[in-house]
Each structure stands twice: as C-alpha cells, then as structure tokens.
Structure 1
Amino acid sequence: MANSSSSVVDMDPDVARRLFEEGATLVLLGVPQGTELGIDCKSWQVGPRFKGVKMIPPGLHFLHYCSVNKPDCGAEVGPKTGLFLTLKPREILLANWDPKEEDLDFSASRNEEEVSRIRENLRDLDPHLGPYPYEVMRKWVSLSDRVTEEVAKNLQPLTGRICAFSDVIPEVQLTHTKDRAEQPRNDTACQSMKEGLDRLPKMKPREGTELRFSVIPQKSYPPGATPAEITRCSMDLSYALETVLEENYGQQPLDLLGEMQFAFACFLIGSVYEGFEHWKRLLALLCRSEEAMRKHKELYLGLIAVLYHQLGEIPPDFFVDIVSQDNFLTSTLQDFFQFASGPGVDGTLRKRAEKFKAHLTKKFHWDFDADLDDCAPVVVDLPEGITVD
C-alpha cells in the first residue's frame, strides 16, 4: 500500500489506540505486487511487502480489487471484483491469493488453527499491514449505514463476489455438431443492425453470479384492474412499491433504503453499471408513489438522508450527462417534491423535502418548479456577480 502510514499519523491518538485494540484485521497473503486493492471508499496499488489491512472499524465494509497482469511490463488491469464483509471487534479474517482464479480465497479463515497461528504472530506481521484509511470512514458510513449484514447477504451473488463485468454463458448450450448446424448461418452480410444482433447467441449470467436485487413489477397495477385503476396506478406507483416492500422486506420497509445504498455502492465503488440502473429504478419507484409517501413517513425521511449523501459523492457534471439523455434525475425529483408538498403529507417530511429541494437547487443550479424541457436540466439564472458554492 502506498503512503499507508499517513492514516495513523493524522488520526486522533485515542481513536488510533481504540482501533488498535478493537479493530479487525484482514490478512491477505500472496497478493501480487501492483494489484489494485481497496476497502470502502479508498484503494491503493499493492507493494512488495503488503500482507493485509489492520485497525479496521468493526461493521460492514466493501473489499475490492483488480488483478494486474505483469505490472513491470505495462500492466493490464483486470475487471474489479468486490465483496461485502461484516467484521467483528478484534476479528482476523485470512485469505490467500489464488493465482489461477486471480481471486482471494477465504477458505483459510475456516481453519481455526491457522487463524490462531496468525493471531500469535500478529506482532511480526504488523509492519506488513496497512492501516485502515480512517479519513474515509465518515463518508463510507454515510453511504452504507442502512445496509445491514442481512441485507448485504441477501442481495450479493451466491458466489459472494460482485464483479464489474458479468460472467455470462449462452442460454442454449450447443454441445453437439448437429445442434450447431441447425443454428442460423453467419456467412452472409447482415441487412440491418437488428438482424446482426439477432444472430448473436443469447447470453445469461452464470448461475450464482447475478446480483439478487428486488424484482420491481413490470405492471404497476393489480391483476384485473379496471382502466381507471390502471391509469391511477400508472400515475401513482404506490401499488408497485407496496408490492416490493411486502415481497422483500415485510415488517422492515426501511431495509429498502439499504438496498438502494447497496446498489449505489456497487456502482460507485464496484464499477457495476447494473447497480446504477437498479438505483434509478428504485428512486423512480419511491419518488412517484404519492399515497405511499403519506403512509411511510420514516421511509421517506430516510430517503432524503440517503440521497443527500449519495448525490454529494458524484460530480454535478455526471448528472448533466445523464439528464441530457432522458431528463431522469430532475424529472423524478420534481415529482417527489410535488408529492411531498401535497395534502396529507406529514409536516416534518414536508419541511425536510423543502430544505432538500433548496439544497439541490443551490448545488446543481436546478429549478424544480419550472417546466423541464426534453433535453437538459433547468439552470437557475443568477444575477451578475453572484455565485453559488
């Protein structure tokens, strides 16, 4: 790890002492030099003496890494792999690098004798352990405080690994020559893009590697709904939201915010675009559920807090690019602010939404009270000489 000692130097002595006594330790043996490895919101390039991370605050963390091919000869960085870990005080978690799979193998942690041996020799190992980057702890907690161990376990793939690029296989396994011969031939020119795409084999995620996000109903209305009900449920997505809550979170509706944070972390830190797409779907579902907003006060107060920290971690120009395509963010939040100011909404929630709206207007220069055009966010025109930080 490069410059890893600075975290301890800059840390409050009482905090450093407490983490030294109570913090968990990740012992990661055999990680090749040059590997990009990180925990939570910070990453490094592994040096020749690296053997793990110490002084990790107990709780949920996201370990992520990219294998590097021949770091001394123009390194080629592989796709990022990550996993959520819930660490206990003074816990030692042991993993060995598997060069064949280019992955960390945590099976050694189940060997109590091996873990005990590591614990006894921890003092000798200490110079090879980089301290947890405590300066990012506050940021990490603000992005993950709703993600419980159970939520993370239920959402991450059965393999336990979250990969930036999906591991896919053909939907139809053409193991015999006869099967392959019956497939459409590709030796003639395609007449259209659609024809070319249709000729490609249909792929699906390898079993156990897919993220297990909540399924959002394709139809936002109940079976047998009348035309009037279909119209109402299409304008107010509360039925679809209640379906998601009932099927996935039962008596714990606030855990949906944990799923939203999980998806966002997968995208922001794990480079998983699917996480961003699911985050967008959850945000649209929550923001366009007017009846649910009157019913689930705590859920929506929590949503504002979650969004406040999430939007603070992404440069404003990122959303300009996204919004320029389909105006997603501004139109979705505009619906949210409109519903939050409606009749029957709790007064505390209404005031919190007004403050959040003012914060976003100041930060992004967006006017949520104006009609949005089809292409770009609305920018507030400020008097000459006045700027917004």
Structure 2
Amino acid sequence: MASSSSSSSSSSAVNMDPDVALRLFEEGATLVLLGVPKGTELGIDCKSWQVGPRFRGVKMIPPGLHFLHYSSVNSPTCGNEIGPKTGVFLHLKPREILLANWDPKEEDLDFSASKNQEEVSRIRATLQELDPYLGPYPYEVMRKWVSLTDHLSEELVNNLQPLSGRICAYCDVIPEIEYRHTKDRAEQPVNDTVCQSMKEGLDRLPKMKLREGTELRFSVIPEKTYPAGATPAEITQCSMDLSYALETVLKNYELQPLHILGELQFAFVCFLLGNVYEGFEHWKRLLALLCRSEETMGKRKQLFLDLITVLYHQLGEIPPDFFVDIVSQDNFLTSTLQDFFQFASGPGVDVTLRKRAEKFKAHLTKKFRWDFDADLDDCAPVVVELPEGVTVD
C-alpha cells in the first residue's frame, strides 16, 4: 500500500528545506544497489518507484531504522508480471554506505558485498561519480515513517524478523519429509482413485512446513486466557477481561513493556509495506489483547496512552474502504475498539487516559463514521417463542 511514482526520485528533493538537504547530504547514509533490473518496483519506507535504467541506489537517507522493499518484474515479452514482495529492515549509521548486488537467479538483493571493506572503500572513493544515478531519500514521507515506527528499535526488529533477515510476502515452504532420491519417491504409494471430498484431497497432498529461518518470530499469544486451575467464575472473568493473557505476553518485555507497541508496529509495517498477511493477523490478535484488558488499563496508563497514538497513525494510513472489504466482514475493529472505549470510560481509569480515549473515539467516528455506541445485543441470537404445547427435544 506504499505510494508509488514512476517519475524520477530527484523530484522529492525539490521542495526539501535547503538546511535539511545539506545536513542529509553530509550526514545521510547511502544505499548503493547495483544491477537492479529496469521495471523493478522498489521502495524505502512509505514510498516506492518503478526503477529506471539509470538507477543505482538511494542517497541522503536519514540515519536510523528503514524498510527497503522490492518486487521483481518480468520483461514486457513475459507480460510485465510483478513478483511477490520482499522486504529488509536496515539500521543505517551516519555516512554509512551499504552495498548490494542484484542476484538475477534468486531475483533478490545480495548484501554480502557490504562485508567487503575494499569494495565499500572503492564505492566511497567514486561516490561523486555515482551521485547522478542515486535518487534522494523521499524526505516528504520521513515524518510519516517515524510516526509508524517510533516504538520500533533495532534490537526489537532483530528479535522479531526471520533469522534470514527477509520479510517475504509469500510463505517459503518445503515438504516435512523430503524424498531426495528417485528410489525413495518411487516407493511411495500412488493413489489414482478420484477424491471423494476436499478433506480427502488435502490429506493426499504432501505435508509442508516453513523453511527454517524464514518464519516471523512474533510473541506467542496464549490460547487459554486464564491461569491453570482457574474456577469457572475465574475463567468467565478472564474471558471478558484479557488482562491475564496480556500480562503473560508482557513478561517477554518485562523491563520495557512499551516494546509490545513496537511489536504492534512491526506487524503493521510487515502488512502495510511488505504485503505479509501474517502481519495483519498478528496485528489483529495483539490489538484485541490490548483493547480488552480492563485491569491492565487501570495499572499501565502510559502503555494505553501510547497505544492511542500508535493507532491514530496506523489507521490514518489505511483507506476507509479497506475496513469494509476485510475487517468489517466480522466487525473486528469496531467491536474491538468499542470494548476499548467502554473500558477506558470506567471509574478505575486515569482521567488523562479517559479524556484521550474520548477524543480518539470522536476522531474515528467523524473520519470513518463508525458507531461505537451501537448496542452489541443487536447481534445476539433471536429468541423464538414456540406455540403452546410444542416442545424441542
């Protein structure tokens, strides 16, 4: 969903403040990307382009955390089909030069050249000659990018991203049992009969698993929201107020509980810019956990004040009709936020948090025309009265 442009990236520097441009020129990092095929869709943070024949990389990048994302494109003779997106989180230092070469076989960027100090030194020495082929960082999206990642640190990214370092829009799966030799495959039973059901067909397919090192390493959200040995009354209470489950997850961030918001931002960026549906699913689960934890809301004021700010920026990046197409099918977001606003208006909630929640509720109501005061009982099952004398076994 990143914005795209087919024009030269040099246009982004036209409206840049001269002082800012000079500072970024002197202190900014440089991303040298060699051999990227013409037509490749490539972006950094919240903006993307279609690469031209002169493209060699991006300059004047503000130091800090960034997300590079790209999709290979077939030649015109093959229909210009766009491949799945790949993303890489980068933490760049002032004046750093990061070098990558395009691997045509893998259709991916190879950053191993950055480990060759002689090659990096050579690039630095010829940087002035390379400058006309480098597009400036899209400064106009920097504020937006920072607002979407202000709780996301380099350490947190390293803990959450796959060990491979690649955020892939598709699942890289392999068979659970690999038959490497022809003899092994030949010995497997062959069933030529027609499948009688979908389940039977799925059961016949080889069992697959994610390739090791490619899976996102999100926090595990407990399936049971109540402690072991809980009474029926406690189970009911923990199902209505998810504070026990939330506090269990927060133990991963015991020293810095606000890092859970960094994980929420990481999942959102993976979905928004990386097209990773798993990121969207985890964002939903984590958000539901945060919004339905009444007891924790009374104890961790700053966590929920910052949650409102995080959601304000995230929801501002998604078109309103997106929720109609995906979220509103099960009324996830409106019902989740409805619970949040109800808990935030409770007597045990800090007055600052209560007022911030009221303003956020008014903002969403105006922007999306969502009704957070609708009676959820409207969705309850209808009780049908049977005629006198009629019973149901």
Rounded Cα–Cα distance in structure 1 between residues aligned with 2:208 and 2:81: 26
Cα pair 1:28 1:97 within 8 Å, conserved? yes
| Counterpart selection for 2:353 from 349, 352, 369 | 349
Rounded Cα–Cα distance in structure 1 between residues aligned with 2:271 and 2:141: 18
Corresponding residue of 1:229: 234
Give, in angstroms, the shift of residue 150 of structure 1: 0.7
Rounded Cα–Cα distance in structure 1 between residues aligned with 2:245 and 2:30: 43
Corresponding residue of 1:291: 295
For the residue of structure 2 that corresponds to 1:160, the secondary structure is: coil
Corresponding residue of 2:91: 86
TM-score, scaled to structure 2: 0.91
Backbone CA RMSD of aligned residues: 1.8
Structure 1: 5+ residue stretches without partners: 376-389
Give the aligned residue type for 2:244: Y
| Counterpart selection for 2:214 from 209, 220, 233 | 209
**Residues 43/72 of structure 1: CA separation in 2 closer, same or farther (3 Å cut):** farther
Corresponding residue of 1:17: 22
Corresponding residue of 2:10: 5
Corresponding residue of 1:366: 370
**Residues 325/180 of structure 1: CA separation in 2 closer, same or farther (3 Å cut):** farther
Give, in angstroms, the shift of residue 172 of structure 1: 2.6
Rounded Cα–Cα distance in structure 2 between residues aligned with 1:367 and 1:8: 42
| Counterpart selection for 2:126 from 108, 111, 121 | 121
Matched, 1:282 2:292: no
For the residue of structure 1 that corresponds to 2:148, the secondary structure is: helix
Corresponding residue of 1:382: none
Rounded Cα–Cα distance in structure 2 between residues aligned with 1:99 and 1:19: 32
Rounded Cα–Cα distance in structure 2 between residues aligned with 1:342 and 1:184: 63
**Residues 214/42 of structure 1: CA separation in 2 closer, same or farther (3 Å cut):** same
Matched, 1:311 2:299: no
Structure 2: 5+ residue stretches without partners: 1-5, 381-393
Mean alpha-carbon deviation: is it higher for 122-131 or for 75-84? 75-84
**Residues 177/122 of structure 1: CA separation in 2 closer, same or farther (3 Å cut):** closer
Give the aligned residue type for 1:357: K
Corresponding residue of 2:103: 98
Give the aligned residue type for 1:209: T
User: What is the count of residue pairs matched by the alignment?
Assistant: 374
Corresponding residue of 2:265: 261
For the residue of structure 2 that corresponds to 1:16, the secondary structure is: helix
Give the aligned residue type for 2:174: I
Give, in angstroms, the shift of residue 77 of structure 1: 1.6
**Residues 202/3 of structure 1: CA separation in 2 closer, same or farther (3 Å cut):** same
Corresponding residue of 1:329: 333
Matched, 1:53 2:58: yes
For the residue of structure 2 that corresponds to 1:146, the secondary structure is: coil
TM-score, scaled to structure 1: 0.92
Rounded Cα–Cα distance in structure 1 between residues aligned with 2:149 and 2:117: 30
Rounded Cα–Cα distance in structure 2 between residues aligned with 1:221 and 1:177: 50
Rounded Cα–Cα distance in structure 1 between residues aligned with 2:106 and 2:114: 18
For the residue of structure 1 that corresponds to 2:109, the secondary structure is: strand
The sequence identity of aligned pairs, in percent, is: 83
Matched, 1:158 2:163: yes
Rounded Cα–Cα distance in structure 2 between residues aligned with 1:212 and 1:335: 28
